[in-house]
Structure 1
Amino acid sequence: MRNKKIPCFVLIYSESNLIKNALNNLVQNKDLDIYVIENKSLQSSENQLFCLDLLHRQLITNYILFDENISNNAFEVMIKRYKERIKVAEYVLVTDGDLTVQDANWLSEEVEILNKHPEVFVCGVKLSLQNLPLKAFPESKSWVPEPTNTHEAYTEQLSGIHLTLWRSKEFIALFEWMQSHGKPFLDGVIHQYCAERGMKWAVTRQAEAVHLTWDIYADLEHPYVKAKLSKPLHKVFNHNNYCAYTVYRVENGKMESSRHGTLSIFNSIKRFVCALRGRLQAAK
């Protein structure tokens, strides 16, 4: 039996004020079943208080706090954990937690696109370019790929994990392919998967999202920006790091939590073996 609410997995890290704005915006949509996933940071104590309040008010379903910052691998762990929940929904939403949208119909627009256009693999929300940090990062004009085609209902354009909506069946197929091939949950990997299957990556034409982290990037002295610039992006996102986590939820009006380990060594070895197998097959 299908669950009418759309499971929504939102990943947050560090910047409390930004995260509060993004989550307050997201919880306004009552069609979402929201799972907030947090990577540990120096601001986790403040973020945790805020998220537990949202949970207590039943504005989100679960709050998950990882013991370390494992970047997008947190998505992988949670998708694996909640795979059965995703399977009973028609759609699933996956997003970074630093976006706001003023158009209240953004989700309806995405659903309409996927509903009427089977050629579309995934639909994100178009990004506003008004706050691109061009002064601090002149190259930021290339951060958003150019559209490749414009249709009446949607624009063909690659995006990051920006309020991306998927058909659950296709999303699970993607995830299982990633697991069997040792691939990380990264937008570049998913772009390739989509292209190889001859499907389209779409963004909305009407709704527009503000990327709040770009405001932080405007300040080169900001601690978050300094930390991001201190190591190559591929080392930030493409790695085999995993860790334990705590799941918070409300049961019968009472706040409960449970600890969960993750087999980090097993996951790392599995990803390495799968990647090696893929390279050997490609070399044949």
Structure 2
Amino acid sequence: MKWSGRRSSENFEDRRGMSSSGKTIVGGGIIGIIILLLNVFGGENAQMLSPILEQMNQGNGTPTEQRALTATEIEEGKFIEAILVDTEDVWSKIFQENNMQYKRPNLVLFTDAVETACGNATSASGPFYCPSDQKVYMDLAFFEELKTRFGAQGGDFATAYVIAHEIGHHVQTLLGTSNKMRQMQEGKSEAEANKLSVALELQADFYAGVWTHYNQKMNNFLEEGDIDEALSAAHAVGDDAIQAKIQGHIVPESFTHGTSAQRKAWFMKGYKTGDIKQGNTFDEIR
């Protein structure tokens, strides 16, 4: 994908190279995410886990050391910042077209562990959005695991898709969708509550597709193979694909993010239509 030449974002925080003392959440990559119920490409559950995370991490220290970033890390940061700028431009335009004002979130890059308003987390959390501070958190080591353990194709646009998905959760927070979904989950069985979580995640995939549609029109940034990279990443993190890989069998009632087919389909619907009003994924679960 074509990304160089973008301006700097005021909402980018690079905390890589910082280390913290004290206790941290432990977990085993994506398996750890599932155990802790932190979303793969999600983060809405991070708010629900905040009291648990805080209790587990009492006594955590603040960053005590900092090293200089490598040339590769600096280039990675520039790429992430370029994607963030594009999401700012696209969603500001979409909100303006719908007589709303877009509040730009921060994106935080970290290594190993990070402190958030939703509690402290490690790289095992995967990329996530914290609605309490309206920030996206990412350890880029996640993308290597996505390729090596879960068979994703990789590539720069796979990373862009993940960022766009997390920003999709921010859009849901601004529109009130996330809060409404949590209210709808109250009193529901686990299976019914999981269906609502799936709808929220699929909508974030749809919003990632909408962003891609708009950004292509605005910046002509796509190159051959980019969409395939996004679809490969979406396939790798489908609930069915993850469960089959980890436990050898699939339990649909426990899905929280949607199947590989659903995630790919909703991303493509957003990409092809570019119409934010066609993303009512909650109709699909009724």
TM-score (norm 1): 0.28
Q: Rg: which structure is higher?
A: 1
Q: Which has the higher strand share?
A: 1
Q: Which has the higher helix share?
A: 2
TM-score (norm 2): 0.28
